[in-house]
């Protein structure tokens, strides 16, 4: 029986790659509707132009057939802005983009009652002023509230 030290395993490249894959799978991917709207409103993530990252085809299929991706790349002469795919950003990436580029702080809140439901709020920062918007619509799931809140911001505010 071979005994490995914990330090040796943690420094192993395959162990770290596996941990990164697990962490990535646990992140919440934005819906197709939200991803497409964010792209239309100016969200760009230039570091994620690779099949190693999540994307939607224009049919709304998450991580669709790779041949479609390659065909579109060759049709556009290697110009990634003309791909017929949409990046599938995580919720965290969209929140960061809103906060850093648009000066909007967005968050989802649990609402306690007989059941836990969720709503969203956002704060718009303009110079010395802060505008708070709170929606009282309740959602069954956290990701529903997140997607609907960001869709509201992208449609109405930006």
Say yes or no to pLDDT of 69 above 60.
Answer: yes
- What local confidence, expressed as pLDDT, does residue 139 receive? 92
The per-residue pLDDT for 1 is: 46
> For the segment 1-12, what is each residue's pLDDT rounded down to a tens digit?
445 445 545 555
Q: What is the pLDDT of residue 32?
A: 87
pLDDT score of 80: 57
Highest mean pLDDT among 26-30, 32-36, 66-70, 133-137: 32-36
Write out the residue range of the structural domain in which residue 70 sits: 46-87
- The answer to whether position 28 is within a domain reads no
89 closest CA partner among 108, 68, 62: 62
Same domain for 109 and 58: no
Report the number of distinct structural domains present in the chain: 2
Query: 139 and 96: one domain?
Result: yes
Q: Tens of pLDDT along 110-150? A: 888 888 899 999 989 887 888 888 877 899 988 889 989 99
**Residues facing 126 on adjacent strands:** 129
Residues 82 and 122 in one domain: no
Residue 128 lies in a domain: yes
Alpha carbon distance 47, 118 (integer Å): 32
Query: What backbone torsions phi and psi does residue 119 show, to the nearest 5 degrees?
Result: -135, 175
In a domain, 2, yes or no: no
Instruction: Report CA torsion sign: 24, 27, 32, 37.
Output: negative
Q: What is the mean pLDDT of residues 54-59?
A: 74
Structure tokens at 67: 């041949």
- Write out pLDDT tens, residues 73-116: 666 665 655 556 778 888 888 889 999 888 999 989 888 888 88
Cα separation, 72 vs 51, whole angstroms: 13
Report the distance separating Cα 118 and Cα 110, nearest Å.
Answer: 5
Taking a C-beta distance cutoff of 8 angstroms, is the pair 87, 45 a contact? Answer: yes
- The H-assigned helical ranges of 55-107 are 66-75, 91-97
Mean pLDDT of 22-37: 74
3 state DSSP class of 41 = coil
Q: Which two tokens stand for residue 47?
A: 């570091």
């Amino acid at each position: 029986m071979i005994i490995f030290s914990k330090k040796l395993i943690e420094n192993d490249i395959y162990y770290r790659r596996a941990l990164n894959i697990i962490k990535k799978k646990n992140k919440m991917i934005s819906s197709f509707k939200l991803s497409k709207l964010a792209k239309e409103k100016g969200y760009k993530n230039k570091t994620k132009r690779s099949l190693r990252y999540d994307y939607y085809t224009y049919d709304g299929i998450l991580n669709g057939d790779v041949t479609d991706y390659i065909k579109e790349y060759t049709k556009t002469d290697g110009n990634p802005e003309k791909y017929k795919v949409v990046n599938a950003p995580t919720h965290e990436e969209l929140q960061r983009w809103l906060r850093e580029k648009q000066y909007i702080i967005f968050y989802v809140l649990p609402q306690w009652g007989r059941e836990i439901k969720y709503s969203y709020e956002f704060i718009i920062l303009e110079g010395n002023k802060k505008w708070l918007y709170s929606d009282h619509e309740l959602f069954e799931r956290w990701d529903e509230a997140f997607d609907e809140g960001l869709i509201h911001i992208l449609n109405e505010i930006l």
